[in-house]
Structure formats: structure tokens, C-alpha cells
Amino acid sequence: MEWAWIAAAAPLAAFPLVALRGKWLPGRGAYISIAAIGLSFVLFWLVGADFLRRQADHFSITWFNSGGTRLALGMIIDPLSVYMLGIVSVVALGVQVYSLKYMEHEPRFSWYFAVQSLFAASMLGLVLSDNFLLLYVTWELVGLCSYLLIGFWFEKRSAAEAAKKAFVTTRIGDVGLLIGILVLFKATGSFDIGTVIQAAESGQISSGTLTVAALLLFAGAMGKSAQFPLHVWLPDAMEGPTPVSALIHAATMVVAGVYLVARAFPIFEAAPGALEVVGWLGLLTALLTATMALVMTNLKQVLAYSTISHLGFMMLALGSIGFTGGMYHLMTHAFAKALLFLGAGSIAHGTGLTDIKDMGGLWRKMPLTSTLFILGALSLAGVPPLGGFFSKDEVLAAVYHNQGPVVLGLTLVLALLSALYMARLVFVVFFGPDRSRESGVHAHESPWQMVVPLVALAYLAVTSGAAAFYLPGTGEGLGQFLFWEEGEAFHPLWWLIIASMVIVAAGFVIAWGIYQRGWRVARALEPVARLARRKYYMDDLYQWTIDRVVLVFAGMVALFDRTVVNDGGVNGSGGIVARVGKRLRYHETGRVYNYGLVMAGAIVVLGLMVTLLR
């Protein structure tokens, strides 16, 4: 297990190699990159197998010392990190293989794969890191890679803007994360996550500090995991190449936040107030963005909002002490969402369309892609027996056990909404009439390099439900695996399961009614829909804040600097000297005896001072 670090190091090593020497490498560097992430994937199996025979463990090397504080690079091998290692490496591998064909005509092909490698490396490093310092380092690198990849087509103004928005928004959250880490360091004197958790559990840290720290950590998670009100960057992130969106939305970047909360879960548990905030914010985010997903018409945008909604759902799960449910949902969502995005990429690749208003009847033209896409959508909607269904129920159970009826009710509404928007996608895109004049002409299936990852992901999306009961190699369910010490079996609540199935079915029926039969429900909800379509004016509010508050304030500071500090302080003091000099120079009469008189007077005065004061 000591070599688990190679899982992160291999793609990291591939980055400079491919970035600098990509042109001369096999497959313009892509093969190197894929080999590296493949190695990580293999290592996941080796580490996993090895892990099952041993205890959780962590290893570290000193990065550098400062003032007696050891700043270390270390990794932790425990159920959570092994689990995440698997999800990240498999999705990254799939995305990279898919990109091979999807991106082949790009002039910056090597660069793309180089950054993909770095992205994977950072995310793997993030999930493996055993201390907050390395976690923050990789956390930021993940942000960087998303910046580079979203802005991959930087010649496009919108892509450049989206990249900037993603980086800045997550950076705002990172301020919180960094402060939180430092608060914890101040309280415990250590960056080591295990040490901090121990201190938190043993009550060494005052509960006030702990709550503040937990909330600050959560602020970081809000940024990365696009929780309200820092969710605005994620929908724009679709400006990047579609496989990038798949990677960001599924296995890297956005799940980092959820992972962080999970990793620091004992800290949150010790600060119940913070946990409550996590739950409520998650729920709020999920509901808000679910409504937005309902009204957006760009395929990738709908998927993006659904991602946020599901992330909120995961946060809700964690906030309801549903650790297993949250992490389980993370996995099923990752597979399904990667599948959906890659599928959307295939659709765009095959038809050149991105807006669902132009699509329709694709089922007939791209049956394979459609089938796979629909599988992903059903999984996310929570249709049994796909993965999403089980994880959703696990979350619902946690909510039921640990939250009040209001939250449970809202969660069920959320389940309805999420079934509704997925059903809407399915009905509008794949069924019904062809709404575009040209798409029918050249719609075609994607080449096999793109289909293989889709199939693999679909397989995972479908079968991941089984993990609840049986995880290969462990002989037990996911819950017991994740909770290494105190196993937690999958314990279904039958009435809840039936209720959720009914809700999903209702969602599909309603969607069928509205989008296939033309029910006039939407008309009544038009004001709300308009609000949702304008993204609840959140983007406008932020834009306004930046333009009218931040920039104006910056302008005022600069003006202050120029006028008060510079013109007033610096030039002013110079001016005073000049003015005084201008006055004083008339005292230079040029007559020697005037000077002499002053000298004489001064000598007399000095002499008097010396004699009298002696």
C-alpha cells in the first residue's frame, strides 16, 4: 500500500511530459496520459485488494519544516479514500479514452491531455491526502485544472469568462476553507486530519471554535461543490469541451466538496450546528437548482443544474448524518452524470445540436447513444433497480431518521422534481417529433472509442445499486465497507421506498403529460418558470455586485490612492516644501551684512545659552 502514492504521481508526472513534449510522444501525448491514469486505475485494484487484508493506515514524508512545524505530504489509505480512488480513476479513465476521438481535431490536443492528467492527479491527490495542507494544495490544483479546461477554447469570450467565473467563485469558497484549516491548526497545532479529528472528538477544541471551523470548511466545500450561493459557476462551466464537463461534474472538482465534508465528518458531527447548516443549505440548493433544471433548454445546462441539485442532495444526506447515503449517492451520481455528459457529447458530436428545443426523436437516429443516455437519466431520476434508486433511498432513510417531517417532505418534493426534469430530457430529446430541419440529415452514431466508455459507465450506473448489498471483495455492503469501524448495513424502510417509487412514477407521468401530450400545467407556473429561467437573478446580482460594488470600490481606492495619498501626501508634501521655499527665498537679500547680522545674533544667542544655562 506504500505505493498508493503512485496513483496520483503517475498522472502528475505525465503532465509536464505531455505538456512540454506532447508533439513527439505517442498519440501526441494522449497515450502517455491514458497510460498514467490507467496505471492509477490498476493501482486502485491493487491498493483495494491489499487494503482489504490490512488496517487503515497513513504514510507521510516531510515536505519542509518551518519553525518546528512539520509540513508533510502524506496519504491515507482508508475505506473512504480507496472508494474515492476507484470512482475518480475509473471516470477519469473513461473520459480520457472518450476524449481521444472527441478531441482529435483540436490543435491543442496534447495540452488537453496534459491538463486532464494534472486534473486526475490533483483529484487523486486530494482524496488520498492525509493532511489539510496537501488537501488544500490539491484542492487548489483541481480548481486550476478546471480553469484551464473550462477555458480550453480561450479564443471564445464566453469560455474565457466561464473559466474565470469558475476559478473566482471557487476561490471565494477557498478563502473559507483556508481560514478553517488555519483555525483548526491554531486550535490543535497540526494539519494532520487524523490528529485534528481526534482532537475534535475528544473535546479538546471548544465547541464554538469547532462550529466556526466546520462552517469555514463547508464554505470551501460550497465553492467546489457549487452549493448555493456559490453555485453560479457550474452551469457556465459547460463552455469547456464536453468530456471536461463530464469529468468536472462527475468525479472531480464538484465531488471534492462533498468528499471534504465526508473526510472531515467527525468534525461536523462534533459541531451539530454546522451539520444542520450543511443539511439546510444542501436542501435549499437542491430545490432551487432542480427548478432551474426544469426550465433550461440547453442540454448541458440542464445536466449542470441537475448536478448541482444532486450535490445539494448529497450535502443534505451528510447534513442528516447520512454518511453512507451521501457517499453512495456520490458514486451513483458520478457514474450516471459522466455517462450523461459523455452521451450529451455524443449527441452534439452526432447532430451538432446543443439546445433541446431543436432536438427530438433522436431515439430513432442514435439508438445506442439514446439507450445509454436514458439509462443514465433513469438512474439519476431514481428508477429502480438502477444505482440512483438505491442511493436515493439510503439518503431518504437518513433524512427520515435524523430530520424533521418538513425536511423529509421537501426532500420528497426534490425527488419529484429530479424525476421530472430527467423525464423531461428523455421525452423531449429522444421521443416526439424531430424539431430541427437538419439534424436528421447527418445524425450518426459515434465511433467506438467514444462508445466504449459510455457502455462501461452505463454498466457501472446500472449495477452500482448492487453495491448497497454486496461490494465485490468485501463480502459485505457498501455501508459496512465505508464505516470501517462500526459497520452500517443497508436497512431499507419499505414504506419510504414505495413512496419514492410512486413519486418517481408521478414525475414521469407528469413529464409525459406535459412534454408529450401538451398538458397546460406549465402556463400556470409561468411566473415561477421565468424566475427560474433567469437563474433567480443570482447571476445578475453577482454581476451587479462586481460591476457596481467591487469595481466601483476598487476605483474609489485607486482614486483615493491617486488623489489623497499621492497628490495630497506625496506631491502635497513636496508642494509645501516648494511653497515654503518660494516664500523663504526673499529672505536671501544677497546683502552680505544682512547675513552677517544674523550670524552675529546667533552667536550672541548661543553664547548666552552656553553661559547662562551652564
Partner 1 sequence: MAVWLGFGVLAGATVAGALGTVTSRNVVHAALFLLVTLIAVAGLFLMLFAEFLALVQVLLYGGAIVLVLLFALMLTRIRGTAASLDNPQRPLAIVAALATVGLLLGVVLSTQWPVQQPGGGPVGFPQWGASLFRQWAIPFELASVVLLVALIGAVVISRPGGEE
Partner 2 sequence: MIPVSAYLAVSALLFSIGMYGVLARRNAVLILMSIELMLNAVNINLVAFSRYLAPGEFTGLVFAVFVITVAAAEVGLALAIIIRLYRNRATVNVDEIDLLKW
Partner 3 sequence: MLSVLVLVPVLVAGLLVALPSGRLRALRSLALGAGIVELALALYVFLSYDSNLGGYQLVERYRWLDSLGVSFHLGVDGVSAPLVLLNGIVLFTGVIISWHMKPRPKDFFILFFTLASGVFGTFVALDLFFLFFFYELAVLPMYLLIGVWGSSSDFGTFIRTKEYGALKLTLVLVAGSVLVWVGLLAMYVEAGVGSFDLLDLEAAGMSVGVQRFLFPFFMLGFGVLAGLWPFHTWSPDGHVAAPTAVSMVHAGVLMKLGAYGLLRVGISLLPEGAHAWAPVLIVLGTVNVVYGAMSAMAQKDLKYVVGYSSVSHMGYVLMGLATLTVVGMDGAVLQMFSHGIMTALFFALVGIVYERAHVRDITVFEGLAKRMGLTSAFFVVAGLTSLGLPGLSGFVAEFLVFVGVFQTYPVLGVLAIIGAAITAVYILRLLGKVFFGPLNPKWEKLPDATPREGFAAAVLVATIVFVGVNPGFLMRAIDSGVQALATRL
Q: What is the C-alpha separation between 417 and 392, in angstroms, rounded?
A: 13
Task: Name the grid cell of 149.
Answer: 479546461
Task: Report the candidate in 453, 284, 341, 468 with the shortest Cα–Cα distance to residue 392.
Answer: 468
Q: What is the C-alpha separation between 223 and 226, in angstroms, rounded?
A: 5
Residues 6+ apart with CB under 8 A from 27: 34, 100
With cell 449517492, the residue in question is 329
From the list 226-234, 308-316, 532-540, 588-596, the region that binds partner 2 by CB under 8 A is: 588-596
Task: Name the grid cell of 604.
Answer: 550672541
Q: 71 or 602: whose CB is closer to partner 2?
A: 602
Q: Does 589 bind partner 2 (CB under 8 A)?
A: yes
Residues 6+ apart with CB under 8 A from 464: 331, 332, 335, 387, 390, 391
From the list 163-171, 503-511, 566-574, 593-601, the region that binds partner 1 by CB under 8 A is: 593-601
Q: Does 558 bind partner 2 (CB under 8 A)?
A: no
Count Cβ atoms within 10 A of the Cβ of residue 485 and give its class: 0-12 exposed, 13-18 middle, 19 or more buried: exposed
| Site for partner 3, residues 289 to 348, rule: CB under 8 A | none
Q: 517 or 585: whose CB is closer to partner 2?
A: 585
Q: Does 576 bind partner 3 (CB under 8 A)?
A: no
Q: What is the C-alpha separation between 259 and 395, in angstroms, rounded?
A: 16
With cell 473512504, the residue in question is 80
Whether the CB-CB separation of 55 and 29 falls below 8 Å is answered with: no
Query: How many residues of this chain bind partner 1 (CB under 8 A)?
Result: 11
Q: Which residues pair with 192 in a beta bridge?
A: 131
Q: How far is the CB of 578 from partner 2 (least distance, A)?
A: 14
Q: 551 or 602: whose CB is closer to partner 2?
A: 602
Q: Which residues pair with 298 in a beta bridge?
A: 355
Q: Does 600 bind partner 1 (CB under 8 A)?
A: yes
Helix (H, G, I), strand (E, B) or coil at 493: coil
Q: Does 160 bind partner 3 (CB under 8 A)?
A: yes
User: How open is the CA angle 262-336-218, to the nearest 5 degrees?
Assistant: 25
Q: What is the C-alpha separation between 349 and 356, in angstroms, rounded?
A: 14
From the list 66-74, 229-237, 554-562, 594-602, the region that binds partner 1 by CB under 8 A is: 594-602
From the list 192-200, 273-281, 288-296, 552-560, the region that binds partner 3 by CB under 8 A is: 552-560
Contacted by 141, from partner 3, partner 2, partner 1, none: CB < 5 to 8 Å by type: partner 3
From the list 67-75, 85-93, 491-499, 581-589, the region that binds partner 2 by CB under 8 A is: 581-589
From the list 45-53, 54-62, 400-408, 591-599, the region that binds partner 1 by CB under 8 A is: 591-599
Count Cβ atoms within 10 A of the Cβ of residue 356 and give its class: 0-12 exposed, 13-18 middle, 19 or more buried: buried
Helix (H, G, I), strand (E, B) or coil at 192: strand
**DSSP string for 35-84:** HHHHHHHHHHHHHHHHHHHS--EEEEEEEEEETTEEEEEEEEESHHHHHH
Q: 550 or 577: whose CB is closer to partner 2?
A: 577
Q: Which of 183, 372, 428, 504 binds partner 3 (CB under 8 A)?
A: 183
Q: Does 596 bind partner 2 (CB under 8 A)?
A: yes
With cell 476521438, the residue in question is 101
Q: What is the C-alpha separation between 249 and 337, in angstroms, rounded?
A: 7
Q: Which of 182, 466, 529, 538 binds partner 3 (CB under 8 A)?
A: 182
Q: How far is the CB of 578 from partner 1 (least distance, A)?
A: 30
Q: 20 or 597: whose CB is closer to partner 2?
A: 597
Q: 505 or 602: whose CB is closer to partner 1?
A: 602
Q: 498 or 600: whose CB is closer to partner 1?
A: 600
Q: 67 or 405: whose CB is closer to partner 3?
A: 67
Task: Report the candidate in 414, 424, 150, 413 with the shortest Cα–Cα distance to residue 296.
Answer: 424
Contacted by 611, from partner 1, partner 2, partner 3, none: CB < 5 to 8 Å by type: partner 1
Q: 441 or 600: whose CB is closer to partner 2?
A: 600
Q: What is the C-alpha separation between 362 and 435, in angstroms, rounded?
A: 10
- In single-letter form, the type of residue at position 17 comes to L
Q: Which of 486, 495, 591, 613 binds partner 1 (CB under 8 A)?
A: 591
Q: How far is the CB of 588 from partner 2 (least distance, A)?
A: 5
Q: Does 593 bind partner 2 (CB under 8 A)?
A: yes
Query: How many residues of this chain bind partner 3 (CB under 8 A)?
Result: 53
Q: 509 or 606: whose CB is closer to partner 2?
A: 606
Q: How far is the CB of 596 from partner 1 (least distance, A)?
A: 9
Q: Does 586 bind partner 1 (CB under 8 A)?
A: no
| Site for partner 3, residues 186 to 205, rule: CB under 8 A | 186
Q: 537 or 595: whose CB is closer to partner 1?
A: 595
Whether the CB-CB separation of 387 and 464 falls below 8 Å is answered with: yes
Half-sphere CA count of 152, side-chain side, radius 13 A = 25
Q: What is the C-alpha separation between 105 and 125, in angstroms, rounded?
A: 31
Q: Which of 485, 486, 590, 610 binds partner 2 (CB under 8 A)?
A: 590
From the list 268-276, 281-289, 314-322, 597-605, the region that binds partner 1 by CB under 8 A is: 597-605
Task: Name the grid cell of 462.
Answer: 446500472
Contacted by 586, from partner 1, partner 2, partner 3, none: CB < 5 to 8 Å by type: partner 2
Q: Does 600 bind partner 2 (CB under 8 A)?
A: yes
Q: 367 or 596: whose CB is closer to partner 2?
A: 596
Site string for partner 2, 517-556 (x = CB under 8 A): ----------------------------------------
Q: Does 570 bind partner 1 (CB under 8 A)?
A: no
Q: Which residue blocks in 403-493 are alpha helix, DSSP H?
A: 405-425, 439-442, 448-463, 478-482
Q: What is the C-alpha separation between 135 and 71, in angstroms, rounded?
A: 12
Q: What is the C-alpha separation between 428 and 495, in angstroms, rounded?
A: 32
For 203, other C-beta atoms within 10 Å of its C-beta total 10
**Contact set with partner 2 (CB under 8 A):** 585-586, 588-593, 596-597, 600
**Contact set with partner 3 (CB under 8 A):** 62-69, 133, 136-138, 140-141, 144, 147, 151, 154-157, 159-161, 163-164, 167-168, 171-172, 174-175, 178-179, 182-183, 185-186, 550-551, 553-555, 557-559, 561-562, 565-566, 569-570, 574
